[in-house]
Structure 1
Amino acid sequence: MPGREHVHSLASLIEDLKPAFTAMSDEIWDFAELKFDEHRSSQCLIGMLEKNGFRVRRNVAEMETAFIGESGSGKPVIAFLGEFDALAGMSQVAGIAEPQPAVPGGTGHGCGHNLLGVGSLLAAVALARYLAEKGLPGTVRYYGCPGEEGGSGKTFMVRAGAFDDVDAALTWHPAPFNGVRSTNNLAVLEYYYRFKGVAAHASNSAHLGRSALDAVELMNVGVNFLREHMPQDCRVHYAITDTGGRAANVVQARAEVLYLIRAPEMPQAMALAERVEKVARGAATMTETEVEVVFDTASTNLLPNLTLESAMHDTMVALGPVPFDEEDLAFAQAIQNTFTEEAIQSSIRLYQVKTDAFSNRMVDGSTPLHLGLRAFEGQSHFRAGSTDVGDVSWVTPTAQCWAPAWAIGTNPHTWQVVAQGRSPAAHKAMIHAAKTLAATGLSLFTSEDLRQQATAEWREKTRGKPYVCPIPPHVRPKRF
């Protein structure tokens, strides 16, 4: 990796850029746009790219809010991944430690993507400036990736070949902890099961009806029995998205349920999806209804790259801890007071945080913010989530880190995340992540050996397992 003087030169450059990027993060928090409708958010990011001399390609992979910004030329090509979509029903007033929607039923950044997208952009802009100043060759790319929340935007970009010439990709995510993320996430497939029956009066002519809602309920019961007979690390969960109406005295002629089917690897997920479909067709047979199976979207399991993760960890050691102050700790404590002790300890286990890399002491959650750095064990861990970063990792070496934007105990997709999304502590975590990504990116530009080792590991892990995009060619991105 570059010497500490180069790391700190990049960090100093990022400090100079901090005010404008912090303001942009708050602006995107305010927009809180849902998947594939992030028009203001994407334009905000594109404007900053163009202001800093990046060449921008819009409408990538037939997605209006997907774009790529590029600076420099030639090899290597290093990608920085940015997300900027929000979640439905997650509206929350910022800066308070109690649930209070800003707009009842409105949207909110319940996963911190306002920070994620801007932090990655800051890293790309700072690194591009540094390379230009030093006269170093290579291409910095920023990928504006829409629809991570249930849209698999990166998967569509991978399918379109947007990453085919990338030598390595870097990203980060807000979290309760500081450190490198090395996890084996789950592959996921999403399907709608749409049942069609026959309407009838539920009292005087029920025998003429064929209930689509009965079919949905029977399918859900059948899948619940299936859980006992599927591999331990698989996950299947659902939401009934259409009950066929609110009238109880009508035999519902339509009903729909959405299933997410997860497994450690995509072939396992596909096999499990076949079993779930058999349950759906069995429910249709029992109720004499029809069922249509509609593919929605999918993401492949994450392929960790320990070579890149180790380099990223070394960078974080050189940077030191995030510089939180007493006001940051006080607000985090107020947020943490909304959690049980069980939730706090569960958060530590979920993120596999055991010891601190600076002090080698056990991490017990005694402080509301993570003031250290997660130790890097040099191995990956199982985590039962999914991300479309997984598809990128199958076509180029990929690494990501965490930065402690949230109080310890905070779970993603909660009002507590939204409340912390534009706090001074979250801004500091975002800046810290940008410094980490930029310095790790510089390592990739200046060390051919690092690039070769990362590529060799990636080739070894993908040998005999060619990437097959889980989204069929005819499927297009779907808005809410």
Structure 2
Amino acid sequence: MKNSSPIWDVVENKRHAFFDLSDRIWDMPETNYEEYRSSEEHARLLEQDGFRVERGIAGLPTAVMGEAGEDGPVIAILGEFDALPGLSQEAGIAEQRPLVDGGNGHGCGHNLLGSGSMLAAAAVKDYLAANGLKGRVRYYGCPAEEGGSSKGFMVRSGVFDDVDIAISWHPAAFAGVNNPISLACNEINFHFTGRASHASATPHLGRSALDAVELMNVGVNYMREHMPSSARIHYAITDAGGAAPNVVQARATVRYLVRGRTLPELLSLVARVKKIADGAALMTETTVRSEIVSGDANLVGNTPLEELMYANLERLGPPDFDDRDEAIARKFQETFSAEDVAASYGRFGLKPQKNQGLCNLIFPLNAGDGTLVGSTDVGTVSWVVPTVQMRGATYAIGTPGHSWQLVAQGKLAAAHKGMEHAAKVMASTALDLLLDPSLIEAAKADHKGRLGETPFVNPIPDDVEPPLPEKNND
């Protein structure tokens, strides 16, 4: 490492408890809004570490918040802990071997994400207390990032209203400041209702809801030629109306995920998709009802925060991976395609290197062209609070996202080292902001200037409730 910092020493002294937390969360992979054990593990460690803890914030049973410090600015550090379905995998081996057939797995590294963010918050807490400094640090444990949009519901409930700055990170192949580009999105169910009938004896009396779904899909596919190249639209038929081909299907549901570069672009695309659904219903003499399930805003960047975080990254240098870490990473690379590895470099604007298993550099600011991006509910937070994120190197270069290979690497020493590295950068960035209020003011001025004349519209309407499991709706 190039330099040292007292708060990095605090991170190092506290890291093992948070490595253990990350491993425990890996061992209990829970999906959207079902992260009861994971949330409680986070809450328990927050309490043990001296935070003031609130469970069930924003009306979300698995959302948790810990606060420490008094007076002064409020710095929020955002964490996640949800897993993905169908990615169960044994840890540490470069061979697909599920622990539970069809089970869940941490295929996006959120076991590391939440634990690393809490480690950073805990280090800031200890540093403020030891030095008698004013300021408050909050850890937000946010559930259901993978399609559940919890942060959007949290923004809507006002839990970020008094936050000055938000900081977060995400596991990745390379370390650097996140290029603040993502797609705004809405996930929408289209429920078609028709009329059942005998498909052979009286087909003329039936009105097929499944026909309506198929016609809608055809219409949206034709629309693709006439929408911005940055937009994305995906769909899945979630209810085909039954398995009997001799019955005209009286019901059918298709779920659409509509993505746009900006909130206005998204809202325009959603309106067009709804018109196509209405047209499909008209053609089939069925009715259609749309239901928004979730939604994320696009990320709003912040130059002062990004430059500050990048300065801390350069001061710290890349993660301290050793020869054993590198050898294990290369074993995993044997399971990737050449295209996987090339895409991993390209995403961060880097030239591919031969015989490199793990990150050994900090990728430059604004790296990559932003053409291949997804969506995140951190985007919604970034519209109401100046926000900055980093990417932390925790797995082999070329690891496909949402894959068994990513799950398998979630408890390796390299994952822990990358998590610690990210925690140090987030902690020192937060401390810089608390020690120099002018940095906060510069970030707020930048944020205000970016919003300009574009009003914030939460992509989750006020009448949409979180998609909680049925057992939570008693």
Same fold flag (TM > 0.5): yes
Match of 1:357 in 2: none
The partner residue of 2:157 within 157, 160, 164 is 160
The SS at the match of 1:250 is: coil
Match of 2:362 in 1: 373
CA contact (8 A) 1:324 1:428 kept: yes
Distance 1:398 1:255, change over 3 A: same
The partner residue of 2:335 within 338, 351, 360 is 338
Match of 2:33 in 1: 36
* Aligned partner letter, 1:108: G
Deviation at 1:379, TM superposition (A): 9.8
1:418 aligns with 2:415: no
1:446 aligns with 2:435: yes
1:396 aligns with 2:396: no
Match of 1:322 in 2: 319
* Aligned partner letter, 2:414: A
Match of 2:144 in 1: 147
Match of 1:359 in 2: none
Deviation at 1:283, TM superposition (A): 1.1
Distance 1:377 1:196, change over 3 A: closer
The partner residue of 1:436 within 425, 434, 441 is 425
Deviation at 1:7, TM superposition (A): 5.1
Partner Cα separation in structure 1 for residue 171 and residue 302 of structure 2 = 20
Partner Cα separation in structure 1 for residue 148 and residue 377 of structure 2 = 9
The partner residue of 1:310 within 307, 311, 314 is 307
1:350 aligns with 2:324: no
Distance 1:215 1:443, change over 3 A: same
1:246 aligns with 2:235: no
Deviation at 1:207, TM superposition (A): 2.5
1:471 aligns with 2:471: no
Deviation at 1:447, TM superposition (A): 1.3
Q: Structure 1: which 5+ runs fail to align?
A: 355-362
The SS at the match of 1:394 is: helix
Deviation at 1:336, TM superposition (A): 1.2
The SS at the match of 1:15 is: helix
Partner Cα separation in structure 2 for residue 421 and residue 109 of structure 1 = 7
Match of 1:360 in 2: none
Deviation at 1:111, TM superposition (A): 0.8
Write the mapping of 1:16-415 to structure 2, written as runs, cut at 5 A. 16-353=13-350, 363-364=352-353, 366-377=355-366, 381-415=370-404
Q: Structure 2: which 5+ runs fail to align?
A: 470-474
Deviation at 1:9, TM superposition (A): 1.8
Deviation at 1:234, TM superposition (A): 0.9
Deviation at 1:127, TM superposition (A): 0.9
Partner Cα separation in structure 2 for residue 378 and residue 190 of structure 1 = 29
* Aligned partner letter, 1:429: G
Partner Cα separation in structure 2 for residue 407 and residue 203 of structure 1 = 57
CA contact (8 A) 2:281 2:287 kept: yes
CA contact (8 A) 1:38 1:85 kept: yes
The partner residue of 1:460 within 442, 449, 455 is 449
Deviation at 1:329, TM superposition (A): 1.4
The SS at the match of 1:183 is: coil
Deviations, residues 178-200 of structure 1 (Å, cap 9, x unaligned)? 11112321110110011112222
User: Is the deviation greater in 426-435 or in 343-352?
Assistant: 343-352
CA contact (8 A) 1:310 1:378 kept: no
The SS at the match of 1:375 is: coil
Deviation at 1:454, TM superposition (A): 1.1
Deviation at 1:8, TM superposition (A): 2.5
Distance 1:230 1:350, change over 3 A: same
CA contact (8 A) 1:7 1:315 kept: no
Partner Cα separation in structure 2 for residue 377 and residue 286 of structure 1 = 47
Could you tell me the percent identity over the aligned residues?
Answer: 51
The SS at the match of 2:384 is: coil
Distance 1:162 1:431, change over 3 A: same
The SS at the match of 2:290 is: strand
Deviation at 1:71, TM superposition (A): 0.2
Question: Number of aligned pairs?
Answer: 469
Partner Cα separation in structure 2 for residue 43 and residue 380 of structure 1 = 39
Query: How much is the aligned-residue C-alpha RMSD, in angstroms?
Result: 1.8
Deviations, residues 197-246 of structure 1 (Å, cap 9, x unaligned)? 22223333323222211111111111000000011111111111111122
CA contact (8 A) 2:81 2:114 kept: yes
Normalized against structure 2, the TM-score is what?
A: 0.95
